[in-house]
Amino acid sequence: MTSVLLIEDDDRIRLSLTLALEDEGYTAHAAATAEQGLAEQRRVGADTVLVDLMLPGMDGFECIRELRRGDDVPIVVISARDDTHDIVAALEAGADDYLVKPVAVKELAARLRALRRRARVATAPLRTLTFGDLELRPDAGEVRLHGAEVPVTRTEFRLLCELAEHPGQVLSRQQLLQRVWGYDIGDERLVDVHVGRVRHKIEDVPGKPRHLVTVRGLGYKLQP
Amino acid sequence: MRRAGLRTRVSAAFAVGALALSACVTIVSYELTRSTLFQERERTAVRTAYFDAAAVDSSLTAGDTNVADVLGALDAGADRYVLVQRAGRWYSRSAETGAQAAVPQSLRELAARGEAGAQRIRRDREPALAIAVPLGGDTVFYEIVSQRELERTLQVLALVLAAVAIMMAAGGAAVGWYVTRSALRPLGAVAGAARGIAEGDLGTRLDPATEPDLAPLAASFNHMADELARRLQRDRRFAADVSHELRSPLQTLAAAVSVVDRRRDGLDERSAAAVGLIVDEVARFQELVADLLELARSDQPVQREPTDVVALAERVVRAHGVAPEIVVDGPREWLVDARRVEQALGNLIENAIRYGGGPVAVRLGKGFLEVDDAGPGVPEGLRATIFDRFVRGPAAGARGAGDGTGLGLAIVAEHAAAHGGSATVTERPGGGARFRLELP
């Protein structure tokens, strides 16, 4: 059974979401603060973490960064804030997806399923894909730059694999949203921020990308 | 009538002022010159007349009885006519017969009383001076001096002075135009700053130091901009607070309702019906809050980017589970705010599904998109207000379970307006409604 950790300071939301997630078949763990949440995650190692942004003490952004430090666990933000700044900041901190409250339980379950599917697809056996000094090993879930392994999250890895499976071909943001996140209609900022994060890991000069390039008005492509 | 512009008015005032001033100077100088010249001429003419009178008198006294010969001996130029009235008879030089008609009656009476005199007259439509010098006995010597040349000189002078006055007026207008241009230049900066603020750049301020005379204007403009920014900031914070305060309890409701909803089968009939109502209303409340918050921030500037609208339209219709014909008549790529266009099109399609029996066609033209349905259409009287908030057509009927928030089309109109366009509804040829979204 898959487990979910919910870090949410509002008692009523925490309780109701815990009940609803258990109804959906998840093992739900809950924490009221970021500190408790980090400790709980170390203890139970949930498959997915749901985080609110406005938390007492350590805030959600810091909490995401802390989680990311040692883990590639999928992180989904559930926040009442829908400012572009907040969304981008949360994604840049390392979140995989962003949902604005109120989230319908069906929608939340669909997002969690999509994240699980991605985690599974990423472990499917595939040959090694090479783009100049960049190497992708889908079977091992590894990315190597100049021969050295680069730590990437599952979502970042999935994004790279999607682009790598279509070498030199432009994939639109919507195509990537659909293939990587499983969205029919989604927020293109998800793609942009993830591309930015990936560039920081696989490009020598992230400001002047050589491998993962933007095709203005169309989307992104991966090239040697 | 449209009021003339400031520059035109100031220039006109300058022109009128310059004209009045130069006209005064011109008239005074003309009058002074004229009277001086006339007096000078008249003095000379009178002196000459006395001289001539003395010559005639001496000739007549010497016994020369042929008056005409005596007059003919006088050295009179073309502009001088000499006459003698002796015992009621007029004598003149042979070439100047009839000249006595020009002598005015008052001058004759004056001379008859034995007094010398001079009077300005007009002869042959020319100014002249008639001078009477009574000689001894029954004899009076008259001399008529034409002032034709003097008048011609004065005419030329008047012409020159009028030309100068007109040039002064034109010069005044030019100075006014130039002066207002430099005076209005700082206002151009103000207009630019105001435009910047209107376009959403709330950081625009004027530098009071650049134009010391306009410092109060710059100060009050900056104060206005500060105030505006503060209010917008407050509104935005309020919207953010409201959204947070509304969304948090809604999240609890949504999650808790789903838990109850799952167990609806185990409830008795009345409880199940009540739970059904709560589920529907919570869902509608969620939509309402989302739509209200969308409207609250719809005045933010659009973020235009190249967008493949055909792909966008295909995506939106797929997401709504409908398959209208998509007609493309123009470029695929538009420079629009994709998020807003996607939402506007989604709302139009939802509207068509809800009230028009589903969309039958989506047309993508040059800078506009249209959604057609084959429903009952929108009555003429409702077409103007249908884009207002919380307006529902009669097609909506009683507010039942399938009813929307009443904000969908208002959001469409806001997104169109944010792009500088408009949203309209017309009749679709063949029945139904045609919603049109102009996105310039």
**Chain segment A67-78, per-residue pLDDT in tens:** 988 778 899 999
Which of A81, A100, A103 is opposite residue B254, by nearest beta carbon?
A: A103
Which whole number is the average pLDDT over B27-40? 90
Q: Does A20 touch chain B (CB under 8 A)?
A: yes
Q: What is the pLDDT of residue A19?
A: 95
What is the mean pLDDT of the segment spanning A147-172?
86
Min Cα separation B317/chain A (Å): 11
Q: What's the pLDDT at B7?
A: 82
Q: Stretch B379-383: mean pLDDT, rounded?
A: 83
User: Predicted confidence band at B102 (pLDDT cuts at 50, 70, 90)?
Assistant: confident
Q: Which residues contact B385 (CB under 8 A, 6 or more apart)?
A: B391
Residue B160 binned pLDDT confidence (cut-offs 50, 70, 90)? very high
- pLDDT(B385) > 50: yes
Which of B252, B261, B349 has the most A C-beta neighbours within 10 Å, making it the best mutation to test the interface with A?
B252
Chain B CB within 8 Å of residue A170 CB: no
Is the CB of residue A70 less than 8 Å away from at least one CB of chain B? no
A19 chain-B contacts, CB cut-off 8 A? 255-256, 259
Give me the pLDDT at residue B272, please: 92
> Rounded to whole angstroms, how far apart are CA atoms B64 and A152?
145
What 8-state DSSP symbol labels residue A171?
B
Give the count of beta carbons closer than 10 Å to the beta carbon of residue A84: 11
Residue B104 · residue B122 · CB < 8 Å: no
pLDDT higher for B76 or B26?
B26
Q: What percent of chain B has pLDDT over 90?
A: 14
Mean pLDDT of B104-122: 83
Q: Which one of A101, A176, A179 would you mutate to disrupt binding with B, by most B Cβ within 10 Å of its Cβ?
A: A101
Alpha helices in B202-307 (DSSP H): 215-262, 269-296
Going across the sheet that includes A134-137, the strands are A129-131, A134-137, A142-145, A148-150
Q: Are A104 and B286 a contacting pair at CB < 8 A?
A: yes
Give the closest of A16, A172, A218 to B252, CB-based: A16
For residue A20, list chain B residues with Cβ-Cβ distance below 8 A.
Answer: 255-256, 258-259
B189-201 core/surface letters (b: 16 or more CB in 10 A; e: else): bbeebeeebeeee
Give the residue-averaged pLDDT of B105-127.
83
Residue B67 CA to residue B59 CA, distance in Å, equals: 9
Mean pLDDT in residue range B170-188: 85
- The rounded distance, in Å, linking the Cα atoms of A173 and A98 is 16
Centre a 10 Å sphere on the Cβ of residue B88 and count the other Cβ atoms it contains. 6
**Percentage of the residues of chain A whose pLDDT score is greater than 70:** 96
Residue B76 pLDDT: 64
Q: What is the DSSP string of B408-420?
A: HHHHHHHHHHHTT
> CA-to-CA distance for A18 and B312, rounded, in angstroms?
36
- In this complex, the residue of B255, B293, B333 whose CB is nearest that of residue A217 is B333
Helix, strand, coil percentages (3-state) for chain B, rounded to 5, are: 60, 15, 25
Q: How many CA atoms lie within 13 A of B420 on its CB side?
A: 9
pLDDT at B167: 92
Q: Name, in order, each residue with C-beta under 8 angstroms of B145's C-beta and a sequence gap of 6 or more.
A: B41, B45, B48, B49, B79, B80, B81, B128, B129, B131
Here the tokens at position B30 are 């003309």
Q: Residue A137 has what pLDDT?
A: 81
User: Is A39 touching B (CB cutoff 8 A)?
Assistant: no
Whether B324 and A190 have beta carbons less than 8 Å apart is answered as no
Task: Mean pLDDT check: name the lowest of A167-181, B73-87, B140-154, B335-349.
Answer: B73-87
Q: Mean pLDDT throughout B67-93?
A: 76
Residue the block writes with tokens 């000459």:
B48
Out of A10, A184, A217, name the one closest to residue B319 (CB): A184
Give how far the C-alpha of residue A33 lies from the chain's centroid of Cα atoms, to the nearest Å.
Answer: 21
Asked if A134 and A145 count as a contact pair (C-beta separation under 8 A), the reply is yes
Q: Which amino acid is at B8?
A: T
| A73: closest CA of chain B, how far (Å) | 24
| Residue B398 predicted with pLDDT over 50 | no
**Across the interface, do A102 and B244 touch by the CB < 8 Å criterion?**
no
Nearest CA-CA partner of A209 in A218, A196, A194, A193: A196
B293–chain A Cβ distance below 8 A for any pair? yes
Which three-class secondary structure string do you get for A88-148?
A: HHHHHHCCCEEEECCCCHHHHHHHHHHHHHHHHHCCCCCCCEEECCEEEECCCCEEEECCE
Chain A residues 43-62 within an 8 A CB cutoff of chain B: 54
Residue B350, SS3 per DSSP:
helix
Size of interface A-B (CB pairs under 8 A): 82
Phi and psi based region of residue B63 (left: phi greater than 0; alpha: psi -120 to 50; beta: remaining):
left
Q: Chain A residue with minimal CA distance to B242? A: A80
Predicted pLDDT of residue A22: 94
Across the interface, whether the CB atoms of B293 and A82 are under 8 A apart is answered: yes
Q: How far is CA B139 from the centre of its chain?
A: 77
CA distance A71 to A154: 10
Top-confidence range, A101-110, B56-65, B390-399:
A101-110
Average pLDDT, chain B: 84
Residue-wise pLDDT for B252-303, tens only, equals 999 999 999 999 888 999 999 999 999 988 988 888 888 888 887 777 778 8
Cα→Cα distances B211→B182, B184, B185, B224, Å: 11, 11, 10, 18
Per-residue pLDDT at A31 exceeds 90: yes
Give B185 to chain A, closest Cα distance, Å: 39
pLDDT recorded at residue B399? 47
Q: Is the pLDDT of residue A127 over 50?
A: yes
**Mean pLDDT, range B227-249, rounded to an integer:** 84
At A117, the amino acid letter reads R
Determine contact, residues B322/B359, Cβ cutoff 8 Å.
Answer: yes
Strand stretches in chain A, DSSP E: 3-7, 27-31, 48-51, 75-79, 97-100, 129-131, 134-137, 142-145, 148-150, 212-215, 219-222
Three-state helix/strand/coil letters over B12-76: HHHHHHHHHHHHHHHHHHHHHHHHHHHHHHHHHHHHHHHHHHHHHHHHHHCCCCCHHHHHHHCCC
Q: What is the spatial distance between Cα B322 and Cα B248, in angstroms, rounded to a whole number? A: 33
A188 contacts B338? CB cut-off 8 A: yes
Environment class of residue B340 by beta-carbon count within 10 Å: exposed (0-12), middle (13-18) or buried (19+)? buried
Contact A17 B258 (CB under 8 A): no
Has residue A15 got a pLDDT over 90? yes
Kindly determine whether residue B240 and residue A10, on different chains, have CB atoms separated by under 8 Å: no
Residue of A nearest to B333 (CA): A217
A101 interaction partners in chain B (CB closer than 8 Å) = 247-248, 250-251
Average pLDDT over residues A16-32: 94
Is pLDDT at B397 greater than 80 in this prediction? no
Residues from chain A that touch B306, judged by Cβ atoms under 8 A, are 216-217
Q: Which of A107-111, B117-121, B266-270 has the lowest mean pLDDT?
A: B117-121
Q: List, for residues B8-21, the tens digit of each pLDDT value.
A: 888 889 889 999 99
What does the pLDDT average to over B70-89? Answer: 76
- Would the CB atoms of A19 and B333 count as touching at under 8 Å? no
